[in-house]
Amino acid sequence: MHDVMLDLETLGTAPGSVITQIGAVYFDRHTGELGKEFTVNINIGDCMKHGLVVDAGSLEFWLEQPRENASFLKEAVPLTKALQMLREFYDGEAIAWAHATFDFPMLHMAYRAVEQGMFMPYRNMRDIRTLVDLSKRPYKKGKGDPKNHNGLDDCKYQVQYCVECFQMLGEKE
């Protein structure tokens, strides 16, 4: 599979915010078939030791969510380990899809915080919102949206509507 979807859960909306979870899944843009999956929960305190910050509004948001949505609190690993795991998961050539104004800048800042460079070639990064806009797919929440703020679940949902977009654009194999 030549495409991978990424999604981050964070405690802020600005680059440099604490990342609590990273989800990723390889997928086939033509069929929607899912491949190898990745998810890791990241220790909040360790992120803060590396200089990442918590936004009060995001913290309030998470405090209002059902406890089961806070899966990122379980089995959390240090930031450096989580970022190394993501680096190992990525095959080095896949086209990476995410919200380009959110997920990619967050990852860049996290790698900078642990004094490592971003591992993914910038030429391989793609924006979900641009794809949706170009396809003229109406924005619609609903069918399949897990609404549980779990990175891997969100990736799988994003794959569904991105595949629709590829089909609307007439993407050929």
Backbone angles phi, psi at 170, to 5 degrees: 75, 30
Angstrom distance (rounded) from CA 41 to CA 131: 28
Domains belonging to the chain, first-starting first, are: 3-169 (3.30.420.10)
Angstrom distance (rounded) from CA 113 to CA 18: 11
Specify the residue for token string 């450096």: 80
User: Which pLDDT does position 145 carry in this prediction?
Assistant: 64
- The yes-or-no verdict on residue 141 having pLDDT over 70 is no
Within 10 A of 38 (CB to CB), how many other CB atoms are there?
A: 19
pLDDT tens for each residue of 23-55:
999 999 999 999 999 999 999 999 999 999 999
pTM: 0.90
- The 3-state DSSP class for residue 153 equals helix
User: Which pLDDT does position 125 carry in this prediction?
Assistant: 96
Answer yes or no: are the C-beta atoms of 21 and 153 closer than 8 Å: no
- The yes-or-no verdict on residue 171 having pLDDT over 80 is no
- The yes-or-no verdict on residue 156 having pLDDT over 60 is yes
User: Which pLDDT does position 138 carry in this prediction?
Assistant: 72
Enumerate helices (H) and strands (E) in the chain, giving the number of each: 6, 5
Of 116, 127, 131, 154, give the one whose Cα is nearest residue 10.
154
pLDDT tens for each residue of 62-109:
888 777 766 677 789 999 999 999 999 999 899 999 999 999 999 999
Residue 76 has which token pair? 């959390």
Answer yes or no: are the C-beta atoms of 78 and 43 closer than 8 Å: yes
